[in-house]
Each structure stands twice: as C-alpha cells, then as structure tokens.
Amino acid sequence: MKKAELTEEQLEELRGALEAEKDAVEEEMASHGKIVGKEWEGSSESEGEEADPTDAADNIEELAVNVPLVAELEKRRKDINDALEKMDKGTYGICEVSGEPIPLKRLDADAAARTLVQYA
C-alpha cells in the first residue's frame, strides 16, 4: 500500500476540519435524537407525553424526519471517527478500494473520504 502524500501541516488542517465537523454532527444529532444504550435514535420533543391528536400527528411527523436524519448523521460521525483513527495509524488518505493516495483536493472537499472519486 502506498502512503498518502500529505505534509504534517496538511494533516493537521484536515484533522482540525474533521474535529470541527464531528462536533457539529454531534450537536445536530443531539438536537434531533437521543442516545439509547450505545446507539443514537431519532426522537421528538414531546415523545412520551400525553398528547391530543394534533400533537400526536406532529410527533409522528417529527419522528419520520428525525429517525432517518439521525441515522445519516451517525453514519457520517462513524466516517469521521474512522478518518481520525486512520490518521493516528498513519493510513489516512489512502483509497480503500485501489490503495492509491487520495488527492488533497478530494480530502479538502471531504476530509473523511474513504475512496478516490471514481469509487465514490
């Protein structure tokens, strides 16, 4: 496997971008979901309360939006955590399909990119 052609400065900038995005994703998850066990689940503000039929319909609609949103945010958080772990292991910036270095332009656009554009 080849090594990514990134300078220490570039790696630190990308790490900072990943950490900032992770914080933003976790904040967004907290506003649309809750932790159940070790997993995040979408929730609604009035979940568990006695509600009139209109409030119940609003609650269902909110859940219909929040459940897939939180699932997507959890997937993104996992990608970010994987990228940070790869940085620690020295394997960051390598395409998981071809083993080739991922160009800096692609990493600047998506610091958690796992593959070259043609495999995305």
Q: Write the pLDDT tens digit of every residue in 45-92.
A: 554 555 566 666 666 666 666 667 888 889 999 999 999 999 999 999
Query: 68 by DSSP, 3-state: which?
Result: helix
| Angle subtended at Cα 38 by Cα 61 and Cα 56, rounded to the nearest 5 degrees | 20
- Mean pLDDT for all residues in the chain: 82
Confidence class of residue 37 from pLDDT cuts 50, 70 and 90?
Answer: low
Confidence class of residue 118 from pLDDT cuts 50, 70 and 90?
Answer: confident
Q: How many helices (H) and strands (E) does the chain have?
A: 3, 2
CA distance 113 to 102: 8
Identify the pLDDT of residue 33: 72
The b-or-e profile of 64-83 (16+ CB within 10 A means b, else e) is: eebbebbbebbebbebbeeb
